[in-house]
Structure 1
């Protein structure tokens, strides 16, 4: 068969995972199906037959580096495919898009998320987390089970709204936004699984999506507009920074882009921590050795004192636990890209305009790259193991110019939450089985994780 003129002549065609294998498995269990597609590829570039839509699946770390970093300019965010198209109706043009709007937003927001600035917020973040964790004392003394996902949402929102948004968004409002974003994550699944369907075609979830976006705007737009009036003299919170910031050509963002970036930053600064940590508790309860090492490190480093900046660098095993959680449950699980010009990846020709899909969920769980990938093992992330592994074998925050600017914040926030909770409480789960993965706009745990807490000190 003749190679199309848009494809390099020396390239071979990708093997195709057939339609009858792709669609039924995706509909039955998307998370499992995606990993099976990766295992079937053995690291080679393959195409997934979704009917009229046939994206290339790229899983090998060397190939991921090419797409995400070395040739990032040729592989732009695919705004017309997979989850980006339905979610663009929520996030719009800005920090989660591409091109000039993304460049302008990143230029303005990046200074807020440098390692030096985030490190300077640690003590404020720690105090906010400690105050939020105080509210667990009462159910712990009463022996009343708590929903760890809901408690983490409250703790994270309390900390992030104070430190990044200067309490302009109240915790009740933030929790309302979280609930709406959770509904949106489920509502767009039919469109993610049927990416060829036009947005004008009614689909299940559309009404929920529109209602949830309207609720988010009702909460955030008045705050965004009020902040515009005080931005010049106000602090360095996210919303004031967006209004006050200058784009690379000296311009200003309009209200729509400030709104888009505010919605994006509320979501990205909260969702990853809330969801990832929900899987933490069953995994450490299932493995007494991991639990004992984690608890021993926190007891030794923190003891009975409040968790503060000086403790974090010593919580090395705790950081390994978080890295292993992110390997198994990378919230940014799918990064579609569109090839601007024809290219070759691993000997396979990629024509101009083709969609390329990279997925941490797939690569992180492939036996081609990981030994016993289904096993929760924080020792994969000892310094020696990390040095011997390709940079793009583990990329839960993406890579290249679009790597999540909140990565450093996640690690600090998650370390503080885990260390604060485990320095003050012991816990027992109602059900120690890790929740199944629900593939939505972001990975979500299916069901609740309920725990009974016991204070360490009376």
Structure 2
């Protein structure tokens, strides 16, 4: 695909231009001409399965890759890298994120989330507008910092970290757009990036260092687990890898839920039939009492709504990979050293794989329709060995937040339109999502 067909759209509306690249590819492996940088775009589910699962050892996260190189200055070597550091960190952290352990925490999460959501009562009584992005960040931080970090990170500090992460998401875009530029060459956003990383280190490093002395006596919060953990060959992590994994875990346990749920409210406003079905299920399943873990498996339509949000707005919207050895994907030779671009944003919106892909339709995730769909047509959390550790946590936490908010309130958007997509390190709405709330009948439990 020549530069003249790609560049104008990327400058005008990057999200739409990327999806159009996928549409023009018709599922074939194509090479994008971005000047001196020419990655292969892989969009077909069968080809994605080869790259992400069957030959995952050959397609690695490159330290100097398209998206990872600028972000590596924040996350360093650890759970979000590759090779030995990734293996060591995942070996230590995975027990914290098994389905069984997360399920055991659901009732505690539900209580914390209910308390955080109840703080919106004053706004609901006064009719004051509420920024759902900000409020969801507060709710998520309250739950995650208590349950996974044992309140070692305060909610105000966690909110400052969220703000710094948001700055980072925007400031790295010039380097993602110009991936061949050396890090030594100054670019717009570099100064903001450095300040935001310093803010995160100023907040987290003292906590990480203090936790080293108490780790043996502490419980199984993330930081203590990192200090106590042993790698497969029996080593302990050094301070910087504990720091890197703490930063990564704060980001990954909060960012997905906050970002994805921000899109929910405009879509419910635009699709009242979906909102009615969602409210009916939540009221019927939860009844008059508090929400508990036992309710969640019955919130089937709510889960479909979340899957549809993840289809349209996958938080990990771009997964670059580096080919270690030569390979053939979809009949196309991939030379060693080539960059492969995999994008859930593109595949999830291609008409070749989805009927009316631009329409918000949770029914496309009804069980009978999912069974007939390729596993890699919908992969918002990646796939293969690098599939996100926090996937199960996202679904439980998001179900709890959606059910708690809609049991307690009804809402109206101040600006009843779908915000456009701003492409950053994570997808963001172009406008703030502000709502007015009012108490729902019987929804104060």
Question: Given the two structures, how large is their TM-score scaled by the length of structure 1?
Answer: 0.96
- Mean Cα displacement is larger for which, 301-310 or 173-182? 301-310
User: What aligned pairs does 1:34-433 form with structure 2 within 5 A after superposition?
Assistant: 34-433=18-417
Report the CA distance between 1:307 and its aligned residue. 1.0
Structure 2 partner of 1:8: none
Secondary structure in 2 matching 1:224:
helix
Secondary structure in 2 matching 1:296:
helix
Secondary structure in 1 matching 2:328:
strand
Report the CA distance between 1:52 and its aligned residue. 1.1
Report the CA distance between 1:209 and its aligned residue. 0.2
Secondary structure in 2 matching 1:73:
helix
User: 1:39-63: CA deviations, max 9, x gaps?
Assistant: 0000000011111110000000000
1:455 equivalent in alignment to 2:414:
no
Whole-angstrom CA distance in 2 between matches of 1:76 and 1:331? 20
Whole-angstrom CA distance in 2 between matches of 1:273 and 1:356? 27
Report the CA distance between 1:163 and its aligned residue. 0.7
* Aligned residue pair count: 442
Whole-angstrom CA distance in 1 between matches of 2:68 and 2:294? 40
Whole-angstrom CA distance in 1 between matches of 2:36 and 2:388? 31
Report the CA distance between 1:311 and its aligned residue. 0.7
- Answer yes or no: is the 8 Å Cα contact 1:69–1:400 preserved in 2: yes
Structure 2 partner of 1:14: none
User: 1:257-284: CA deviations, max 9, x gaps?
Assistant: 0000000000000011001101000101
- Mean Cα displacement is larger for which, 296-305 or 126-135? 296-305
- Answer yes or no: is the 8 Å Cα contact 1:27–1:193 preserved in 2: no
Secondary structure in 1 matching 2:156:
helix
Whole-angstrom CA distance in 2 between matches of 1:158 and 1:373? 35
Secondary structure in 1 matching 2:267:
helix
Secondary structure in 1 matching 2:373:
coil
Whole-angstrom CA distance in 1 between matches of 2:9 and 2:68? 22
Question: Given the two structures, how large is their TM-score scaled by the length of structure 2?
Answer: 0.98
Whole-angstrom CA distance in 2 between matches of 1:21 and 1:161? 46
- Answer yes or no: is the 8 Å Cα contact 1:283–1:432 preserved in 2: no
Report the CA distance between 1:152 and its aligned residue. 0.3
User: 1:195-231: CA deviations, max 9, x gaps?
Assistant: 1111111110000000000000000000000100000
1:444 equivalent in alignment to 2:428:
yes
User: 1:356-388: CA deviations, max 9, x gaps?
Assistant: 010000000000100000000000000001000
Secondary structure in 2 matching 1:44:
coil
**Which stretches of structure 1, 4 residues or more, deviate above 4 A after TM superposition?**
none
Whole-angstrom CA distance in 2 between matches of 1:319 and 1:25? 34
Cα-Cα RMSD:
0.8
- Answer yes or no: is the 8 Å Cα contact 1:360–1:395 preserved in 2: yes
- Answer yes or no: is the 8 Å Cα contact 1:187–1:204 preserved in 2: yes
Report the CA distance between 1:456 and its aligned residue. 1.5
User: 1:91-144: CA deviations, max 9, x gaps?
Assistant: 000000000000000000000000000000001110110010010001101111
- Mean Cα displacement is larger for which, 72-81 or 246-255? 72-81
Report the CA distance between 1:305 and its aligned residue. 1.8
Report the CA distance between 1:83 and its aligned residue. 1.3
